[in-house]
Amino acid sequence: MKIKLDLKIFALIILFFLSGKGQSYIVLYTFAAIHEIGHILMGIVLGLKPERINIGPMGFCIIFKQEKAKWQTELLVSIAGPITNFIIATLFSLFIQVSKKETIIYANLILGLFNMLPVLPLDGGRALMAILKKYCKENIAEGIIYKTSNIAMALLTVIAGIGTLYLRNIAIPVIIIYLWVIVSNENKRHRLKQRIKKILEKY
């Protein structure tokens, strides 16, 4: 299994420490890694083979070998990460007593809820795509999910802007900008795929 490191991670680490949020970043990144382990374990249980792990500023991302999986498999693998975070938050809330308990619970709730947003390539977007594929043709499902992603990102940007004004945390707009870059790349990939499909249909 290959490992790919995105060097932008070091820029974000420096930014968080300069803004006094270094400890929060370490906690978030630790549980983001555990979140990804949830995806890996679910994928392996369902018969998928891990091919590559991308290590980026926002956490780890597991890439499975490109095999045509059933929509149920895609759905379960997608939601396994957020469910892992919600389980951890519940365990620390009810049973485990440690220092920084509230920080751990808060970090896992944020990670779980954030990743369930209906935005590609977040888990919520992937889960929604899997469900749509059950009821729609693939090209229709893709059209819906990309429109949903852009609308959700627009709303998230507004909320993040308000949050930045109140919390005075420069890390919030940086995360939103980074996510917009990822979503924009997904949009370009979708448009390119649609153009290629139209060209092929002419012949």
**Final residue in a domain of this structure, among 116, 148, 174:** 116
Same domain, 196 and 163: yes
Work out the pLDDT band at 76, boundaries 50, 70, 90: very high
Question: Structural domain of residue 148, as residue ranges?
Answer: 117-203
Domain total of the chain? 2
What pLDDT is stored for residue 67 in this prediction?
63
What pLDDT is stored for residue 86 in this prediction?
95
Work out the pLDDT band at 182, boundaries 50, 70, 90: confident
Mean pLDDT, residues 81-96 taken together: 90
Same domain, 3 and 80: yes
| Average pLDDT value over all residues in the chain | 81
Same domain, 18 and 36: yes
Same domain, 23 and 112: yes
Same domain, 200 and 161: yes
Work out the pLDDT band at 1, boundaries 50, 70, 90: low
Q: Which is higher by pLDDT, 98 or 45?
A: 45
β-partners of residue 15 are none
Q: Which is higher by pLDDT, 85 or 159?
A: 85
202 to each of 93, 138, 168, 195, 196, how far by Cα in Å? 59, 19, 54, 11, 10
What pLDDT is stored for residue 14 in this prediction?
74
Same domain, 12 and 97: yes
Q: Which is higher by pLDDT, 151 or 52?
A: 151
Same domain, 5 and 96: yes
Q: In what side-by-side order are the strands of the sheet with 50-56?
A: 2-5, 50-56, 59-64
Q: Are residues 9 and 175 in contact, defined by beta-carbon separation less than 8 angstroms?
A: no
What pLDDT is stored for residue 52 in this prediction?
79
91 to each of 10, 94, 101, 104, how far by Cα in Å? 31, 5, 10, 10
Same domain, 54 and 107: yes
Same domain, 80 and 138: no
pTM for this entry: 0.79
β-partners of residue 2 are 52
Same domain, 60 and 122: no
* pLDDT tens digits, one per residue of 63-74: 787 666 688 888
What pLDDT is stored for residue 66 in this prediction?
67
Q: Which is higher by pLDDT, 93 or 52?
A: 93
**Final residue in a domain of this structure, among 116, 134, 166:** 116
39 to each of 34, 74, 156, 159, how far by Cα in Å? 9, 10, 24, 28
**Final residue in a domain of this structure, among 80, 98, 116:** 116
* pLDDT tens digits, one per residue of 4-43: 766 666 776 777 677 666 677 778 888 888 898 898 899 8
Same domain, 112 and 139: no
What pLDDT is stored for residue 99 in this prediction?
76
β-partners of residue 60 are 55
Same domain, 79 and 112: yes
